């Protein structure tokens, strides 16, 4: 299991400060982008990273209206992967093709109330990551919802049938208590936000990974 720090902020200064803490500690960071339409919150625009010089791999998680229209903007600032919420997509296939055109890895994300069968079965083999929200998308600091466990089971069955298996990712409210269950359910990636940055980032990641394996 990989622990990936996520950054959800409307402050460019805070964004840069948190990215600096990640340098040399982890290889990948998720930048959450919320446009005020998908959820009643607004974060920095991808253009805030225009002059960023980093070795970090950047995931952009698009919680926005029409995610496909944001793909080129994210790619232009160094995105390694772009993950879009399917709830605001007119076509999951269109989003995937746009990501492929700009040569970035692609993920689809499902909000907490969105059932697994909302995924377009025709595109499962084309995604690199399936992200399941374990809180309502758009805000940090929420409590983990155990209702995601059933969705993980259903997603795992899809993964078993995939000839090029996607990575299964869970995002939102993950605690030292829930991470062990996610590990046993063979979740590949866990996204954790601001509380991971309270204190020493590396120590916090190590503690969570140790808890997961107990």
| Cβ-contact 99, 105 below 8 angstroms | yes
Q: Over 90: is that where the pLDDT of 41 sits?
A: no
| Cβ-contact 30, 59 below 8 angstroms | yes
| Cβ-contact 131, 119 below 8 angstroms | no
Identify the pLDDT of residue 163: 80
pTM of the model: 0.95
Angle at 193 between CA 175 and CA 186, to 5 degrees: 50
104-144: per-residue pLDDT in tens? 999 999 999 999 999 999 999 999 999 999 998 867 767 89
Give the domains, in start order, of the chain with CATH numbers: 2-212 (3.20.20.70)
């Amino acid at each position: 299991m990989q622990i990936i720090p996520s950054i959800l902020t409307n402050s460019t200064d805070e964004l840069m400060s948190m990215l600096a803490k990640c340098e040399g500690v982890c290889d990948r960071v998720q930048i959450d982008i919320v446009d005020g339409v998908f959820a009643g919150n607004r974060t920095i625009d991808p253009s805030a990273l225009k002059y960023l010089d980093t070795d970090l791999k950047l995931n952009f998680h698009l919680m926005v209206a029409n995610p496909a229209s944001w793909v080129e903007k994210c790619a232009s600032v160094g995105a390694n992967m772009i993950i879009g919420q399917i709830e605001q997509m007119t076509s999951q296939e269109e989003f995937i093709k746009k990501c492929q055109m700009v040569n970035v890895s692609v993920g689809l994300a499902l909000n907490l109330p969105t059932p697994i069968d909302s995924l377009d079965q025709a595109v499962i083999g084309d995604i690199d990551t399936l992200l399941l929200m374990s809180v309502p998308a758009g805000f940090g600091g929420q409590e983990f919802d155990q209702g995601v466990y059933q969705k993980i089971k259903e997603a795992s069955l899809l993964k078993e049938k995939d000839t090029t298996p996607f990575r299964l990712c869970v995002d939102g409210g993950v605690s030292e208590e829930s991470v062990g269950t996610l590990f046993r359910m063979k979740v590949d990636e866990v996204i954790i936000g601001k509380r991971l940055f309270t204190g020493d980032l590396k120590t916090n990641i190590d503690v969570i990974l140790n808890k997961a394996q107990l």
